[in-house]
Amino acid sequence: MQNQTVLVTGANSGMGLATTIALARRGAHVVMLCRSQQRGNAALAEARAQSGTDRIELMLCDLGSLASIRAFAAAFLAKHSTLDVLVNNAGVVTVKRQTTTDGFEAMLGVNHLGHFLLTQLLLDAILRSPNGRIVNVSSGAHKIGRFDFDNPFLVKGYSPWRGYSQSKIANIWFTRELARRLALEGGSATVNALHPGAVGTNIGVNRDTGFGKTVLRLLRPFFLTPEQGADTAIYLATSPDVRGVSGEYFYQRLVAPISELAQDDALARRFWDWSASQVGL
Ligand SMILES: NC(=O)c1ccc[n+]([C@@H]2O[C@H](COP(=O)([O-])OP(=O)(O)OC[C@H]3O[C@@H](n4cnc5c(N)ncnc54)[C@H](OP(=O)(O)O)[C@@H]3O)[C@@H](O)[C@H]2O)c1
C-alpha cells in the first residue's frame, strides 16, 4: 500500500483502530477520522507506536453533523487530491432514541446518512485513484432490518435493534446502488460491504448511550478481538483477489448471503433518493 492514501472513519476505537494500524504497517498513509480530539490524539499516538510509522494523521469530524462532514471533506480535499481506500467503519448503537445535530435518529444518521454524504463528497478523489476502493462495515444485523419511509427516524416504535438493523441494511442498499452507479460510469472504483463477526469493542457500551461495560466484560470471551474482526475490512481494502469485485457483501473474506429485502434493488434506488434528499444533495 506504499503511497496509497486511506481514510478510516471511527478510527480511534475497536476495528477502526485495528484497521488503521494494519494499513499503516503496510505502508499506507492513513487519515483517522475521529469525532473527539482527546480520544483521537490518544489513538493516533497508539497507532503510530504500534505501526512503527508516523504516516498517520488525525482529522476531526462528527458524522452526526452534516456541517461537520462538509467541513471535513473540504479540509481533506485541500490536503489530498486522491483517495485510494475509504473505510466507512464508524458506528453507534444507542439504547434510548437519540438524534443527530440535524435531527436524524442517531443510528441511521451516523451509521448510514453521515457516511452516505461523506462518500459522495469524496467520490471524485476516489475516482482519481487507479483502483479506488470503498469498504462499508455493515453487519449480520441487517437481516432483521426493515425501513418505513413514513417513519424513517423511528419516532414511533423505537428499539435499539430496530434502529441498528435498519442502519445496517441501509449500508447494504447504499453499497449495491453505489456499485451500480460506479459500474455505469465505467471506471475501476469498487464498493463492497461486510460483516465483521461478533467483536469485543466499545460499540453499544460507549459512554452514557450504551448497554454498560459489565455486559461487554461478561461476553468478551465469546467475541473476536478487534484485530480479528478487522480482517475482512483489511482484506477488502488491500487484496488483489477482490480487484474489480463490487456490490458484494463479505463475511470471513467470502461473499456471503444477504436478506431478501437487502437484495431489493428498486428499494435501494428509492432509498438512495431519499438519503440524498435528507443530506441535501
Ligand atoms: N462489534 C461488533 O460485534 C460488530 C458487529 C457487526 C458490525 N459492527 C460494525 O463495526 C463497525 C465498527 O464498530 P466497533 O465494533 O469497532 O465499535 P467501536 O469500538 O465503538 O468503534 C466505533 C467508532 O465509531 C466512532 N463514532 C461513533 N459515532 C461517531 C460520529 N458521530 N462521528 C464520528 N465517529 C463516530 C466511535 O467514536 P467514539 O469513540 O468517539 O465514540 C468509534 O471510533 C460499526 O460500523 C459497527 O456497526 C460491529
**Sequence ranges of the domains in the chain:** 5-279
- Residue 191 pLDDT level (bands cut at 50, 70, 90): very high
Alpha helices in the chain (DSSP H): 14-25, 37-51, 66-79, 106-107, 115-127, 160-185, 213-219, 226-229, 231-238, 265-279
Does the pLDDT value for residue 207 go beyond 60?
no
Angle between helices 231-238 and 14-25 (to 10 degrees): 40
Best CA proximity match to 40, nearest among 69, 76, 16: 16
CA of 11 to the centre of ligand 1 (A): 8
State if residue 88 touches ligand 1 by the CB under 6 angstroms criterion: no
Angle between helices 160-185 and 265-279 (to 10 degrees): 100
Ligand 1 atom with the shortest distance to the CA of 137: 45
CA of 201 to the centre of ligand 1 (A): 8
Note the pLDDT of residue 211.
61
CA 266 – CA 258 distance, rounded (Å): 16
State if residue 14 touches ligand 1 by the CB under 6 angstroms criterion: yes
Does the pLDDT value for residue 214 go beyond 90?
no
State if residue 139 touches ligand 1 by the CB under 6 angstroms criterion: yes
For the whole model, what pTM was predicted? 0.96
Q: What's the grid cell of residue 143? A: 437481516
**What are the pLDDT digits (tens) for 117-160?**
999 999 999 999 999 999 999 999 999 999 999 999 999 999 99
Tell me, what amino acid is at 107?
A: M
State if residue 245 touches ligand 1 by the CB under 6 angstroms criterion: no
State if residue 35 touches ligand 1 by the CB under 6 angstroms criterion: yes
Ligand 1 atom with the shortest distance to the CA of 226: 16
Angle between helices 115-127 and 265-279 (to 10 degrees): 100
State if residue 43 touches ligand 1 by the CB under 6 angstroms criterion: no
Angle at Cα 114 formed by Cα 136 and Cα 206, nearest 5°? 85
Average pLDDT of 61-87?
Answer: 98
Ligand 1 atom with the shortest distance to the CA of 65: 31
Is 275 within 8 Å of 174 (Cβ atoms)? Answer: yes
* Percentages (nearest 5) of helix, strand, coil residues in the chain: 50, 15, 35
Best CA proximity match to 137, nearest among 105, 100, 104, 112: 112
* Residue with more model confidence, 180 or 223: 180
CA of 93 to the centre of ligand 1 (A): 8
When the candidates are 2.60.40.1250, 1.10.357.10, 3.10.129.10, 3.40.50.720, the CATH number that belongs to 5-279 is 3.40.50.720
State if residue 193 touches ligand 1 by the CB under 6 angstroms criterion: no
- Residue 221 pLDDT level (bands cut at 50, 70, 90): confident
**What are the pLDDT digits (tens) for 237-274?**
999 999 999 999 999 999 999 999 999 999 999 999 99
**How far are the Cα atoms of 20, 121, 123, 149, 171 from residue 72, in angstroms, in the given order?**
18, 10, 14, 29, 21
Active-site residue, selected from the candidate residues 164, 235, 249, 251? 164
CA of 106 to the centre of ligand 1 (A): 13
Backbone angles phi, psi at 250, to 5 degrees: -115, 150
Asked about 164 being catalytic, the answer comes back as yes
**How far are the Cα atoms of 23, 54, 103, 201 from residue 50, in angstroms, in the given order?**
11, 10, 38, 18
Is 206 within 8 Å of 92 (Cβ atoms)? Answer: yes
Is 94 within 8 Å of 163 (Cβ atoms)? Answer: yes
CA of 3 to the centre of ligand 1 (A): 27
The dihedral built from the CA positions of residue 26, 31, 34 and 37, taken in this order, carries a sign that is: positive
Best residue among 93, 195, 203 to mutate for probing ligand 1, ranked by most atoms within 8 Å of CB: 203
